[in-house]
Amino acid sequence: MDKRYNVDLSIIIVNWNVRDLLCDCLNSIYEKTLGITFEIIVVDNASSDGSVEMVRAEFPQVKLLANSENLGFARANNLALPSAEGEYIGLLNPDTVLLNNAFGIMIAKLKDESNIGIVGPKLLASDGKVQEPCARKLVTLRSVIPRLLIGRMLATPLGTHLPPAEYDISQAVECISGACMVMRREVLTDERIFNPQFFMYVEDVDLCYETVHRGWKIFYLSEALVTHYGGESADQDSISTVLYAIKATYRFFIKRYGKLTGYSYRCLCIIVSTMKLAATWILRRTPRFRNDPVWERRSLLYPQVIRCALYHIEE
């Protein structure tokens, strides 16, 4: 460990109203992390479920930053950085559980290969299946089109996934998930982790884009295993999170690929949502789908997406 730092790793967890999952996450870190020194910093985004009280009572060794408002994922992570005393910076979602010594494995990789800037583990869903966003290519307009057409989460920029067999192979990739990653401090610019223009979604994609284009490697480690329940905070306000995803994707395309790509994405959101809204209206007039809650939600979602893309996407 560099003598300038007090511990090997600072693990930052941004929490919003997932107290019980956060408790399980913290317990798994202390149980599974071996061979390195670490600290945990929990940034709570004004939870109302007793998360702050739980951390204070059950994990007094954790550094706790309790915000009076929801700052979003990017700004909350940035807020923790000045308090971090680790040589390396780790990010972890509260809806995760470590299955093995994932952080020890990731730190070892960074120490062994100096050209690697960020590493990430294999993320598994609660059913044990691989979550494909844990290793992928960088998002482009072409990769977003299928997601727009058939995706459950409209327009979330996941990028192009690897072939299924590739998830059993540790390798350099273009992008990993912000649900769990460890990075060198040297990859960070402007004394922050994420660009604060992203409230939630795409901040990890933007960080990976910046890291790759500055000459660092990003590495996926299949032997580091983490269960990620996924979307537990976001699902509490699902329509709003879709709109956040659309705005964030637009900002990413404008920033990294130019105005033409950004405006093309905006037009695609309007066209595809209009088509889906028309189909929803037709289907809801049939007995089978008239009272279906899924289609009822879609009938509420698509007009808001259209309105967002027309008038509010740059907010």
pLDDT score of 289: 81
Q: According to the model, what pLDDT value does residue 142 have?
A: 86
Those residues with Cβ within 8 angstroms of residue 211's Cβ, 6 or more apart along the chain or in another chain: 117, 118, 183, 187, 218
Kindly report the average pLDDT of the chain as a whole number: 90
31 and 98, same domain (yes or no)? yes
Estimate to the nearest angstrom the gap between the alpha carbon of 248 and the chain centroid: 12
Q: Which residues contact 251 (CB under 8 A, 6 or more apart)?
A: 197, 198, 202, 262
- Co-location of 201 and 60 in the same domain: yes
**Residue 75 token pair:** 């700004």
Of the two residues 238 and 163, the one the predictor is more confident about is 163
**Range 53-72 average pLDDT:** 96
- Average pLDDT of the segment spanning 106-120: 98
Q: What is the pLDDT of residue 83?
A: 95
The pLDDT, as a whole number, for residue 287 is 85
233 or 299, greater pLDDT: 299
Residues 186, 88 share a domain: yes
pLDDT at 234: 45
Q: Do 103 and 183 have their domain in common?
A: yes
State the pLDDT confidence band at 158, using cuts at 50, 70 and 90. Answer: low
Q: How many domains does the chain have?
A: 2
Indicate if 301 and 167 belong to the same structural domain.
no
Give the model's pLDDT for residue 236: 44
Supply the pLDDT for residue 60: 97
- Does 222 fall in a domain? yes
Report yes or no: 65 and 83 within 8 Å, Cβ to Cβ: yes
- For the ranges 54-58, 155-159, 219-223, 267-271, the lowest mean pLDDT is seen at 155-159
Amino acid identity for residue 138 in this structure: L
Report the percentage of the chain scoring pLDDT > 70.
Answer: 94
For residues 275 and 229, state if they share a domain. Answer: no
Helix (H, G, I), strand (E, B) or coil at 228: strand
- C-alpha span between 217 and 265 (Å, rounded): 28
Residue 231: which pLDDT band, with cuts at 50, 70 and 90? low
pLDDT at 255: 93
At 151 the pLDDT is 58
Residue 202 pLDDT exceeds 50: yes
Per-residue pLDDT, 144: 82
More confident residue, 245 or 52: 52
What DSSP letter does each residue of 94-161 carry, written as one string? TTEEE-SSHHHHHHHHHHH-TTEEEEEEEEE-TTS-B-GGGSBPPP-HHHHHHHHHH-SSTT----PB
CB 266 within 8 Å of CB 311: no
Q: Among the listed ranges 42-46, 93-97, 301-305, which one has the minimum average pLDDT value? A: 301-305
Does 286 lie in the same domain as 198? no
Same domain, 228 and 279: no
Same domain? For 289 and 160 the reply is: no
Q: Are residues 300 and 202 in the same domain?
A: no
Q: Can you give the pTM of this predicted structure? A: 0.88
Domain range spanning residue 272? Answer: 258-312
Q: How far is CA 2 from CA 6, 12, 86, in A?
A: 8, 20, 9
Q: 182: closest CA among 149, 224, 129, 132?
A: 224
Structural domain contains residue 145:
yes
- CATH number for 227: 3.90.550.10
Q: Which of 113-122, 214-223, 273-282 is least confident? A: 273-282
pLDDT digits (tens, 9 = 90+) for 118-128: 999 999 999 99
Looking at the fold, whether 211 and 274 belong to one and the same domain comes out as: no
